[in-house]
Structure 1
Amino acid sequence: MTKKVLDVGNCGPDYSSIKSFIERTFDAKVLQADGPEDTLEILRRDQIDLVLVNRKLDRDYTDGLEVIKQIKADDALASVPTMLITNYEEHQQLAKSEGAVQGFGKLSLQKPETKDLLQPYLG
């Protein structure tokens, strides 16, 4: 069964790279959201298997950690696996302290470790 991934806050080129990598590596479809409002709306409407949140949202450069906090604060959505996309380990740790799972950085998108990281959610 095809999995659904929600990509939040990435610019067009980064979204395209992530979408291409995930859709050719896994049986998954990648949807896009721009900020917390449409993210929560999509999560309430669709069965999403994994949420990827950019560290800084492209639309207004707000902190993606705030999106993670909103997802995890909603009892109906808190169980959806959520990853922060950042190359900075200290931000990964902050996201994990808010209930996210270990994420990855855009610089490691093509590395085998990223596939291994996504496998439990999309494999």
Structure 2
Amino acid sequence: MSKHILDVGNCGPDFTSIKRFLTQTFDCTIEQTHGLEDTLAALRGAKFDLVLINRKLDRDYSDGIEILRKIKEDSELKDTPVMLITNFPEHQDAAVELGAERGFGKLELGKPETREKLEPILG
């Protein structure tokens, strides 16, 4: 059964790269949002198997961890798996402390380790 992924806050080229990697690796569809309001609306309107949040949102360079925090504080959304997209381990650590799965950076796309992180959720 195809998995449904929400990509939050990535620019067009990064979204395209992430989408290409995911759809070539897993049976999935991907939607995109750009900020807190449209992300929460999307999550309330459909079931997603995974939310990928850019650490710095392309739209206004705000911190994606705030979207993660709002998802995990919401009783209806908190069980949705979320990963932060960042190359910096300290930001991955902060995301995990808030309830996210350990994510990956854009530099790690296509690596076997990234596929292994996603396999339990998307495989």
- For 1:29, the equivalent position in structure 2 comes to 29
Q: Deviations over 1:8-38 (max 9, x none)?
A: 0000000000001101110000110001111
- For 2:54, the equivalent position in structure 1 comes to 54
What is the CA–CA distance in structure 1 between the aligned matches of 2:120 and 2:32, rounded to whole Å?
A: 21
Percent identical across equivalent pairs? 58
CA shift for structure 1 position 110: 1.1
Query: Do structure 1's residue 73 and structure 2's residue 73 form an aligned pair?
Result: yes
What is the CA–CA distance in structure 2 between the aligned matches of 1:36 and 1:116, rounded to whole Å?
A: 28
What is the CA–CA distance in structure 2 between the aligned matches of 1:89 and 1:64, rounded to whole Å?
A: 15
1:79 is paired with a residue whose SS is: coil
- For 1:41, the equivalent position in structure 2 comes to 41
Which 4+ stretches in 1 moved above 3 angstroms? none
What is the CA–CA distance in structure 2 between the aligned matches of 1:31 and 1:121, rounded to whole Å?
A: 17
TM-score normalised by the chain length of structure 1 = 0.99
What is the CA–CA distance in structure 2 between the aligned matches of 1:66 and 1:48, rounded to whole Å?
A: 19
What is the CA–CA distance in structure 1 between the aligned matches of 2:101 and 2:112, rounded to whole Å?
A: 18
**Unaligned ranges ≥5, structure 2:** none
What is the CA–CA distance in structure 2 between the aligned matches of 1:120 and 1:33, rounded to whole Å?
A: 24
Query: Do structure 1's residue 93 and structure 2's residue 93 form an aligned pair?
Result: yes
Count of matched residue pairs: 123
1:4 is paired with a residue whose SS is: strand
- For 1:13, the equivalent position in structure 2 comes to 13
- For 1:83, the equivalent position in structure 2 comes to 83
What is the CA–CA distance in structure 2 between the aligned matches of 1:81 and 1:117, rounded to whole Å?
A: 12
Name the aligned partner's letter for residue 53 of structure 1.
Answer: I
Q: Deviations over 1:52-97 (max 9, x none)?
A: 0000000000000000000001000000000000000000000011
TM-score normalised by the chain length of structure 2 = 0.99
